[in-house]
Amino acid sequence: MAIKIKSFDISKAFKNILISFVFILSFLLIFFSKTDYFIVNKVKTLSNEYVSPITKFVSFPFIVVSNINSSIQDFQNLKQQNLVLKEEVIRLKKWQILAIQNSTENKVLKKLLNASDNNLNLVKTASVMSRNDILYGKIININAGTKDGLVDQMTVVNHRGLIGRVIDPSLNKSRVLLLTDPNSSLSVKTVSDEIFSLIQGSDDGVHLVSSFIKNEKTPKVGDLLVTSGTAQIFPPDLLVGKITKVTNNKFYALPFVDFNNIDYVQIVNSK
Amino acid sequence: MFSNKFLTKTIILNFILFFSFSISTNYLINLKIINLTFYVLFHITLIYLIFYYYHYSLLFLSFIYGVLYDYYLFNNFAPHLICFLLLIISIMVLKKNLFNLNSLNITFVIIFYIFLIFIFETILASILYNYSFDYKKIFNLLLISLIIFFPTIYFFSKIDNL
């Protein structure tokens, strides 16, 4: 195959100006993306608002095939799942009795202590429109934006626990940076002995890894992690995960949220 | 000026480019391989367009796709943007030498470019945005590139003969 290069008869000077312009534009974009400039946020918002729906429309047939594939897999596992669920129902009934007893006791104790019941305020429940957590970043797109009261850095949860935080909200849509992203850092504490630490997404995209542990204390495997609320981004005491591995200066935790099965999310803030 | 045939071929290739971009940025949890295949196809198509249908407008096209890919996959700008612009500049600089190569050598050059661009993107992501250099990810992308490269080039050569 011979190379066929066909181009307009543009003067060399104009070509050089064009190249310089694109390179300067790229440099400015990269520079401002590091400094969080208004124009960059505008570019991001425009991409989210207008390009995402088009790409979703184009990939619609593949999304349908993926959903059918998922349904078939679920159907194949139906019998086994049924057995597991029957066992779980028996186990949960025992827990339910215990929980009702504890709940009554808890209400009485709270009244005695004059403590508030819940520190969360639900801003909006949104559904997941599309996901971009394929290769590098762990980001999902939701169908709620600034018109629903969302602002940057708001907390996103579901029934299992903390999912992440809102980034780049546009009028009707927003993106959520998941906990499992390596750039998503949050302050947590262990439930049992209140060891404070910072955690972020690990390289495998599944676990969370500690980046700093206060007073170099070592937590135990099986300890539960909740948000500490010290960084004032996330409200305190939101379920995060369970410690699965402890090494010399680090620990790894498995998030409670199943990030492959997120359909709906709740955006909350502190009361 | 462009001939009608040239425009038709360019439009078809640009359509493939946009289609690949759309599929690769919408994660299909149960069909991740489809996402990766279209991600690779996008890179092959872009390099093919720059090699065989070079025009200055491709500089803008690379810029826009670089920005969009970086936004969707990193939520920041740099790795794809830098790689696409360097790709187009390197081909502009080397085009006189590339004229003299035979088809087999050009095929190897394109494969070399694809490998280089994936590795370079991952290195930039690692340096600038804290995403680890995942050998398994790179190996998967290179393997998919090798598998789909020849059928894709064959398909593109059919488009060339339209």
Question: Which span out of B2-6, B8-12, B60-64, B132-136 was modeled with the highest average pLDDT?
Answer: B60-64
* pLDDT exceeds 90 at position B133: no
Count of domains in chain B?
Answer: 1
Contact B78 A47 (CB under 8 A): no
Residues A57, A37: Cα–Cα separation, whole Å = 30
Q: Please tell me whether residues A64 and A163 are part of one structural domain.
A: no
- Percent of chain B clearing pLDDT 90 (strictly above): 49
Determine the pLDDT at residue B68.
Answer: 92
| pLDDT value of residue B147 | 94
Which of residues A66, A92, A114 is at a domain's end? A114
Share of chain A above pLDDT 70, in %: 94
Which of A165, A139, A183 is closest to A240 using CA atoms?
A: A165
Rounded to a whole number of angstroms, the distance from the CA of A3 to the nearest CA of chain B is 5
Average pLDDT, stretch A6-23?
A: 74
Contacts of residue B32 in chain A, CB cutoff 8 Å? 134
CA within 13 Å, CB half, B51? 27
Region A105-122 average pLDDT? 74
A130 touches chain B (CB under 8 A): yes
Nearest CB among B28, B75, B129 relative to A66 is that of B28
Please state, in angstroms and rounded to a whole number, the distance separating the CA atoms of residues A159 and B151.
46
Same domain assignment for residues A97 and A130: no
Q: Say yes or no to pLDDT of A4 above 60.
A: no
Judged against a pLDDT cut of 70, whether residue A116 lies above it is answered with no
Per residue, what are the HEC states of chain A?
CCCCCCCCCCCHHHHHHHHHHHHHHHHHHHHHHHHCCHHHHHHHHHHHHHHHHHHHHHCHHHHHHHHHHHHHHHHHCHHHHHHHHHHHHHHHHHHHHHHHHHHHHHHHHHHHHCCCCCCEEEEEEEEEEEECCCCCCCEEEECCCHHHCCCCCCEEEECCEEEEEEECCCCCCEEEEECCCCCCCEEEEECCCCCEEEEEECCCCCCEEEEEEHHHCCCCCCCEEEECCCCCCCCCCCEEEEEEEECCCCEEEEECCCCCCCCEEEEEEEC
Number of A/B CB contacts below 8 angstroms equals: 149
Q: Identify whether residues A107 and A143 lie together within a single domain.
A: no
Q: Give the distance, in angstroms, between the CA of residue A115 and the centroid of all CA atoms in the same chain.
A: 30
Asked if residue B118 has pLDDT above 90, the reply is: yes
Rounded Cα gap, residues A186 and A188, in angstroms: 6
In chain A, residues 184-243 whose CB comes closer than 8 Å to chain B = 203
Mutant choice from B71, B102, B123, B158 vs A, greatest count of A C-beta within 10 A = B71
CB A235 within 8 A of CB A259: no
Mean pLDDT of A133-152: 89
For the domain that residue A148 is a member of, what is the CATH number?
Answer: 2.40.10.340
User: How much is the average pLDDT of A249-267?
Assistant: 90
Same domain? A110 vs A126: no
**Least CB–CB distance from B6: residue in A3, A6, A177:** A6
Residue A2 pLDDT exceeds 60 = no
Instruction: Report pTM.
Output: 0.84
Looking at A227-231, A265-269, B61-65, B134-138, which range is the least confident one?
Answer: A227-231
Task: Give the CA-trace dihedral at A217, A220, A221, A227, to 10 degrees.
Answer: -70
- Locate A198 and state its tokens: 């910072």
Examine the pLDDT at A35 and tell me if it is beyond 60. Answer: yes
pLDDT at B144 over 90: yes
Domain co-membership, A80 together with A135: no
Provide, as residue numbers in chain A, all residues whose Cβ is less than 8 Å from the Cβ of B73: 132, 134-137
Q: Check whether B2 has a pLDDT greater than 60.
A: no
- For residue A83, pLDDT over 60 is answered with yes
Among candidates A143, A140, A141, A168, which has minimal Cα distance to A154?
A168
What is the span of the domain harbouring residue B122? Answer: 4-160
Q: Indicate if A138 and A99 belong to the same structural domain.
A: no
Range A2-16 average pLDDT: 61
Question: Is the Cβ pair B75, A137 closer than 8 Å?
Answer: yes
From the CA of B1, how many Å to the nearest CA of chain A?
Answer: 6
* Per-residue confidence (pLDDT) for residue A10, from 0 to 100: 57
Q: What is the mean pLDDT of chain A?
A: 85
CB contact (8 A) between residue A69 and residue B31? yes
Contact B63 A25 (CB under 8 A): yes
A10-20: b (≥16 Cβ within 10 Å) or e: eeeeeeeeebe
Q: Which residue has the higher pLDDT, A246 or B98?
A: A246
B152 pLDDT more than 60: yes
Report the residue of A134, A173, A209 to disrupt the B interface, i.e. the one with the largest count of B CBs within 10 Å.
A134
Question: What is the structure's pLDDT at A81?
Answer: 86
**Closest residue on chain B to A60 (Cα):** B23
Partner-chain contact A182 B52, CB within 8 Å: no
* Span B104-123, average pLDDT: 91
- State how far residue B82 is from chain A, nearest Cα, in angstroms: 8
pLDDT above 50 (res A1): no
Write the CA distances from A152 to A46, A167, A269, B46, integer angstroms. 16, 5, 11, 35
> A157 and A103 share a domain?
no
pLDDT of residue B3: 64
* A184 and A221 housed in the same domain: yes
A178 versus B95: the higher-pLDDT residue is A178
In sequence order, the β-bridge partners of residue A225 are A190, A241
Same domain, A106 and A148: no
Q: A177 and A91, same structural domain?
A: no
Q: How many domains does chain A have?
A: 2
Q: Which of A3-7, B112-116, B137-141, B154-158 has the lowest mean pLDDT?
A: A3-7
Write the pLDDT tens digit of every residue in B43-94: 999 999 998 888 888 888 999 999 999 999 988 888 999 999 999 989 888 8
Whether residue A137 has pLDDT greater than 90: no
The stretch A114-132 carries a mean pLDDT of: 80
pLDDT at B7 over 80: no
In terms of domains, do A105 and A134 share one? no
**A9 plus A103 within the same structural domain:** yes
Q: What value does the mean pLDDT of chain B take?
A: 88
pLDDT confidence of residue B96: 80
| Among candidate residues A114, A138, A162, the one where a domain is terminated | A114
Q: Between these two residues, A147 and B28, which has the higher pLDDT value? A: A147
Which residue has better confidence, B97 or A119?
B97
Q: Touching check for A168 and chain B: CB below 8 Å?
A: yes
Share of chain B above pLDDT 70, in %: 98
Boundaries of domain holding A79: 1-114
A254 contact B CB<8A = no
**Residue A117: pLDDT band by 50, 70, 90 thresholds?**
low
Phi and psi based region of residue A233 (left: phi greater than 0; alpha: psi -120 to 50; beta: remaining): alpha
Choose the final residue of a domain: A93, A114, A135: A114
Which residue has better confidence, A105 or B63? B63
